[in-house]
Structure 1
Amino acid sequence: MGTAPPEASRTSLHAQYWDALVAADRFAALRAVKALKDGGCSTAELLDDLVVPAQQRIGDLWVSGEWGVAQEHAATAVNEGLVHWLCSFSAPPSEEAPLVVVACVAGERHAMPALVVAEGLALEGLRVHYLGADPDPADLLAQVELLRPRAVLLSATLSASLASTKALFAGVRALGVPVVVGGRAFGGDARRAETLGATAYAPDVATAVRLVRELPPVDPGPAAAVGHPGEVEGGRIAERQHEIVPTVLGLLTADAGPTPGVSRAELVDHVRHVLGSLAAALVSEDESILVETRDWLAHLLTSRGAGPDLVARLWAAVGAALGEQTTARRALDRTAPGRLDVEVPA
């Protein structure tokens, strides 16, 4: 292995890599990564300092409206391909090494964080069975029962994907297998993970490795809990989302007609995201999820030139579409745009 490239050269190669992602040119991206690797950069360094920041930048450009979905997907595909290439040089794990299953939670299509975790664990010598984005919960449980891994590691980027996780975590732990979770959707600490019944929360690969090695070999499972009203309503909203979305869209159209700056398909996605976040907030008893969704959506829509009142109208339409689901409507009222009295868990 060569000597690490000078800082100026490394900066130039990082810029070349970014330019390759912008152009969706996998060959140019590979040349930049090869140069960095030949210059002495480790795989872990390249993942932490090049690939992950690039993916965050890709996401930011999509949120700002500077990139469309097609360009975002093309750049992400190149970035993911380079993760696979980089990690193909790692030594094969020992047959005695702990086996872990890594996947996204159901409904989560942002696979890059889970992929980086999977490859990071492999670099640390663990055997990894990677299932990728949006696995069917029944299939995932069947894999866990068949493989009997040391742990299951699950990633979630969007809080809207958390609503159905409680049953999944309980199902895995009922098999005696610990569930370690991570990703932006969990809010940066263990509170949501614990409320939803995960065994542990890992903010990074190093913590995940430590937990896999330190957790008890058999998970006793979560303590039995009685379903609270929010959990019941959250489950109902998640199950009936396909019925609620058209009602919300109809109310928005009747309210103010077409929405400037937002296509109907995009509006459908936004309504689904709000409903998913509402369901997750109810199940986890954490209304800060709704606050995060409200603020993120306001930023995204403003960046795309939508009217400043669209989030407020969307909140009102969702509330009206929910009818007698009082717990959900109260949560929406408390987190509506302009409201500042939301209690965030300590």
Structure 2
Amino acid sequence: MSGWDDYWTALAEGDRDLAITFIQRALDEGAAPREVLDEFVLEAQHRIGELWLEGEWTVAQEHEATAVSESLVHWLASVTSRSPTLDGRALLVSCLPGERHALPALVVAEGLRMEGHRVHYLGADPEPSSLLSEVLDLGPRAVLFSGSLTSALGTQKSMLVSLRALGVPVVVGGQAFGLDARRARSLGATAYAPSIEAVVEVLDRLPARLPRLPDLETVPGEAEGAWLEDARPELAAYVVRQVRRRVGDEGGTPDWWTDYESNVDHLVGCLGAALVTGDDTIMLEVREWMARMLTRRDAPPTVMELTWDTLAGRVRGHPMARLLLASA
């Protein structure tokens, strides 16, 4: 879409007004609002994430650009949304509990408003019991969850099963769920949708209320996954301490330590998610991601293996967890 380079420059400079000018120009040239969301806002967000991963952007730069993107989504919805139909039930859109990346959920919420849907938007990291109370009070047509962090998936099954028991359709999407419906189905979701267009298509096919569904099968690693989530803070802290002790003076520049603690917590969370969903590709993804992050931040070459081996040693009494680590 024309105007991308100008838009990106405005976004990178944190210039909201200039960014809106370029989006307005795209609309005047015939771009549909959904195209703007996909080809400007979401594409830019992907690039922002890549620049942070590569160490070319700081967290502060990422947050500033994301704040501009969020304000742009609100503005776009305010000038393009259709009046909602009032004869049907609303949709509830939210991030998963524990998920703080709110922009994708906001894009879904406002994108659906642009299509004329009534939407209740809860935002980032809702408290699970409050979310369930909101569902009971609202009686939504469906609940739509966005998840960006795979490490958040390990704690979601009980909530999705509760919604399943209430007969409320649950549609999930986002980077955390991978490229197909396997992780979504394993957690009890009704459907997986990778885009706003897919969400609209799914909603058109959903029944008003789900029939009684069979209980989800327990996967072999689920009990270990529950233990690991409970022990996650202690496990992550242990790995960080041991790696710091063993690296010693080899650590060189301290830059790579800045994100290392949160990276290890993410790794442990991904192991829990792999156990609960039964999807071993999660560990392949997080190993590749973490190795790339450490390399771009000039961490000593031994850190990745030290991290992996230290975590494997700490979970040696849990065979499924060790198997997942070994297989990756």
Q: Identify the residue that residue 56 of structure 1 maps to in structure 2.
A: 46
Deviation at 1:226, TM superposition (A): 5.3
Q: Tell me, in whole angstroms, the C-alpha distance in 2 between the residues paired with 1:20 and 1:306.
A: 32
Q: Identify the residue that residue 299 of structure 2 maps to in structure 1.
A: 306
Q: Tell me, in whole angstroms, the C-alpha distance in 2 between the residues paired with 1:236 and 1:267.
A: 23
- Residues 271 and 187 (structure 1), Cα distance of their counterparts in 2 relative to 1, 3 Å cut: same
Q: Tell me, in whole angstroms, the C-alpha distance in 2 between the residues paired with 1:331 and 1:42.
A: 44
1:124-171 Cα distance to aligned partner (Å, 9 max, x none): 211111111111111111111110101001111121111011111111
From 117, 122, 135, the counterpart of 1:144: 135
**How many pairs were matched up?**
325
Q: Identify the residue that residue 86 of structure 1 maps to in structure 2.
A: 76
From 149, 168, 175, the counterpart of 1:177: 168
TM-score, reference length from structure 2: 0.94
CA contact (8 A) 1:287 1:331 kept: yes
The farther-off stretch of 308-317 and 82-91 is 308-317
Gaps of 5+ in 2: none
Deviation at 1:203, TM superposition (A): 1.7
Is the aligned partner of 1:155 residue 2:163?
no
Is the aligned partner of 1:329 residue 2:325?
no
Q: Tell me, in whole angstroms, the C-alpha distance in 1 between the residues paired with 2:216 and 2:27.
A: 50
- Residues 99 and 43 (structure 1), Cα distance of their counterparts in 2 relative to 1, 3 Å cut: same
Q: Identify the residue that residue 288 of structure 1 maps to in structure 2.
A: 281
1:87-141 Cα distance to aligned partner (Å, 9 max, x none): 1121220111441111111111111211111112112211111111111111111
Deviation at 1:24, TM superposition (A): 0.7
Q: Identify the residue that residue 5 of structure 2 maps to in structure 1.
A: 15
Q: Tell me, in whole angstroms, the C-alpha distance in 2 between the residues paired with 1:174 and 1:209.
A: 23
Partner letter of residue 160 of structure 1? Answer: S
1:192-216 Cα distance to aligned partner (Å, 9 max, x none): 1111111111121122112222212
TM-score, reference length from structure 1: 0.89
Percent identity (aligned): 44
From 36, 44, 48, the counterpart of 2:26: 36
Higher helix share: 2
CA contact (8 A) 2:219 2:277 kept: no
Q: Tell me, in whole angstroms, the C-alpha distance in 2 between the residues paired with 1:326 and 1:119.
A: 44
CA contact (8 A) 1:113 1:155 kept: yes
Gaps of 5+ in 1: 1-9, 336-346
The farther-off stretch of 217-226 and 274-283 is 217-226
Q: Tell me, in whole angstroms, the C-alpha distance in 2 between the residues paired with 1:38 and 1:204.
A: 24
CA contact (8 A) 1:173 1:220 kept: no
CA contact (8 A) 1:156 1:185 kept: yes
Q: Tell me, in whole angstroms, the C-alpha distance in 1 between the residues paired with 2:247 and 2:211.
A: 53
Q: Map 1:1-346 to 2 at 5 A.
A: 11=2, 13-89=3-79, 90-220=81-211, 222-225=213-216, 227-257=218-248, 259-260=251-252, 262-335=255-328
Q: Tell me, in whole angstroms, the C-alpha distance in 1 between the residues paired with 2:25 and 2:312.
A: 54
Deviation at 1:289, TM superposition (A): 0.3
CA contact (8 A) 2:247 2:303 kept: no
1:175-229 Cα distance to aligned partner (Å, 9 max, x none): 1101111111111111111111111111211221122222122123552245444
